[in-house]
Amino acid sequence: MAVILRIDVDSPYGKKNFINHIFSRLTSDLNLPPILIFPYLEYLNDFINYLNNRDIQGYFFFRKCTLPAIETLNLLKKGKHIIGLHLENSRSFETFKNEVDIIKSHTKSKVEVFSKHGSGKYKYGLHHYSLYEPEKYLEWGSKLGMKIFLGNLEDPTIPFYYTNNNMLFFPTAFWLEYSWRNIMLFDINWLIQESKNRNIVLLIHVENVLYNKLFLNEFETIIQNTKIRII
């Protein structure tokens, strides 16, 4: 039993400083090509190197505006990570398939895992369809032969299961950042214990974790005390 590491790549430039944050948002809203004077996905490359140096594999979910450039793809390949879709426009099966196809043709590999962008409440960016409707995604995913959907609920006690169409569904995650977790009930020691008995998803947003001492310390404690693996 293990921790499944889910990395939602929301931000093209990270949030290290204000300018990066603004450009991340503009790139997402306007479908801008990567602006080369800013270090596109540099924060993510730093983090993949960090994982690769520790021989830890994770699932990386990309949006249309955070598609990995060649350097990132090479690092992901080197570390044997899995690439998936971070679904943004979930308005219909067609918009879903369109995003799957974009990731497929960009990475030149099959895409069998996906996660959904947003909390279900707020609209993040122009192309974001904010409703969270996992039953639809499970049906659409199985139509396209996908294998795993990682859901957005915040109660980490909810177990995973296989749907009738044989999709593996984790309805919930243990969110490392505090905004989406009851930290009084579920601290990292809880996660460490729980992962001994079952597979459990740890969700992180690298731009919030890599430059935050508290979260990075907690992440290090988790990787030192659990098995992190691909399933």
Q: Considering the complex, what minimum distance in angstroms separates the CB of residue 86 from Zn ion? A: 6
Nearer to Zn ion, 51 or 87 (CB): 87
Angstrom distance (rounded) from CA 212 to CA 217: 8
Question: In sequence order, which ranges of 31-92 are alpha helices (DSSP H)?
Answer: 42-53, 70-78
Nearer to Zn ion, 63 or 194 (CB): 63
Nearer to Zn ion, 76 or 85 (CB): 85
**Could you tell me which residues are beta bridge partners of residue 3?**
200, 228
Binding site for Zn ion (CB under 5 A): 8, 10, 117
CB burial of residue 128 (10 Å; 0-12, 13-18, 19+) = middle
Nearer to Zn ion, 65 or 226 (CB): 65
Nearer to Zn ion, 10 or 207 (CB): 10
**Could you tell me which residues are beta bridge partners of residue 174?**
202
> What is the DSSP code (8-state) at residue 228?
B
Q: Considering the complex, what minimum distance in angstroms separates the CB of residue 225 from Zn ion? A: 27
The four Cα atoms 136, 137, 141, 143 give a dihedral, to 10 degrees, of 20
Q: Considering the complex, what minimum distance in angstroms separates the CB of residue 119 from Zn ion? A: 9
Q: Considering the complex, what minimum distance in angstroms separates the CB of residue 112 from Zn ion? A: 19
Q: Considering the complex, what minimum distance in angstroms separates the CB of residue 135 from Zn ion? A: 20
Place of tokens 């795993």: 148
Q: Considering the complex, what minimum distance in angstroms separates the CB of residue 138 from Zn ion? A: 18
* Helix, strand, or coil (residue 149): strand
Q: Which residue is nearest to Zn ion (CB)?
A: 117
Nearer to Zn ion, 115 or 226 (CB): 115
Nearer to Zn ion, 28 or 195 (CB): 28
Element containing residue 164 per DSSP (H, E): none
> What is the DSSP code (8-state) at residue 18?
H
Q: Considering the complex, what minimum distance in angstroms separates the CB of residue 197 from Zn ion? A: 28
Burial 65-97 (b: 16+ CB within 10 A, else e): bbbbeeebbebbeebebbbbbbbbbbeeeebbe
